[in-house]
């Protein structure tokens, strides 16, 4: 199962420049625009069957990390937590940022012509919940927040597409040692 807000959510390891594919069944982003903090949460981390050892090693590197890759230098990593739950192996990354516009550009949010903040739901995504308003424009679904919004909450689940080549994915739950 692959959530795909963008590269940050599609490839968990992208934030740390680790060359391992991690995907998750659900992705949750929370951004506090007033306090300039945020959180990425990944539910049920998975990896290709033939990459388990490499993925566990990559997870260890992420768990020990104290910063994101230089490409994401506008984000400051404040904590990481990789933990087991009944849903699988999950990860939570907390961060801070200096510039709201840089952060939103990095996460593929944009300002609509009416001044609202928007995120376009990708074909492989299904929105579970949000504090924004769901709308449909030009055959695409968007989540909108007015320009006074101080907190963004967005929870997405993977929607399987016919041409996806991720059938051999396995949960990392039984391979992670806390």
Flag whether 58 is in a domain. yes
The rounded distance, in Å, linking the Cα atoms of 103 and 156 is 19
| Per-residue model confidence (pLDDT) at position 88 | 93
The Cα angle at residue 166 between residues 120 and 119, in degrees rounded to 5: 10
- Per-residue tokens: 32: 């506090």
Flag whether 33 is in a domain. yes
Flag whether 170 is in a domain. no
The rounded distance, in Å, linking the Cα atoms of 122 and 140 is 8
The rounded distance, in Å, linking the Cα atoms of 42 and 146 is 26
Walk along the chain (178 residues) and give the pLDDT tens digit of each residue: 344 455 565 667 888 888 888 888 888 999 999 999 999 999 999 888 888 999 999 999 999 999 999 988 889 999 999 999 998 999 999 999 999 888 888 888 888 888 889 988 877 778 889 999 998 888 888 899 998 899 999 998 876 655 555 557 889 999 998 7
| Per-residue model confidence (pLDDT) at position 4 | 43
Flag whether 156 is in a domain. yes
Flag whether 77 is in a domain. yes
User: How many domains does the chain contain in total?
Assistant: 1
Flag whether 63 is in a domain. yes
| Per-residue model confidence (pLDDT) at position 80 | 95
Flag whether 142 is in a domain. no
| Per-residue model confidence (pLDDT) at position 165 | 56
**What CATH number is associated with residue 94?**
3.30.1360
Domain range for 73: 7-109+151-163
Helix (H) or strand (E) holding 85: strand 75-85
| Per-residue model confidence (pLDDT) at position 2 | 40
- Per-residue tokens: 88: 């699988």
């Amino acid at each position: 199962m692959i959530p795909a807000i963008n590269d940050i959510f599609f490839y968990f390891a992208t934030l740390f420049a680790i060359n391992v594919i991690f995907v998750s069944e659900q992705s949750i982003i929370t951004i506090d625009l007033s306090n300039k903090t945020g959180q990425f949460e990944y539910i049920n981390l998975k990896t290709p069957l033939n990459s388990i050892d490499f993925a566990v090693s990559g997870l260890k590197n992420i768990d020990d990390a104290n910063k994101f890759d230089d490409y994401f230098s506008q984000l400051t990593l404040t904590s990481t937590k990789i933990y087991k739950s009944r849903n699988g192996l999950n990860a939570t990354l907390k961060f801070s940022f200096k510039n709201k516009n840089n952060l939103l550009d990095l996460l593929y949010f944009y300002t609509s012509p009416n001044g609202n903040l928007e995120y376009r739901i990708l074909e492989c995504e299904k929105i579970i919940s949000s504090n924004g308003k769901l709308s449909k424009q030009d055959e695409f679904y968007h989540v909108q927040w007015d320009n006074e919004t101080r907190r963004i909450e967005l929870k997405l689940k993977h929607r399987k597409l016919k041409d996806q080549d991720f059938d051999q994915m396995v949960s990392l739950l039984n391979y992670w040692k806390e």
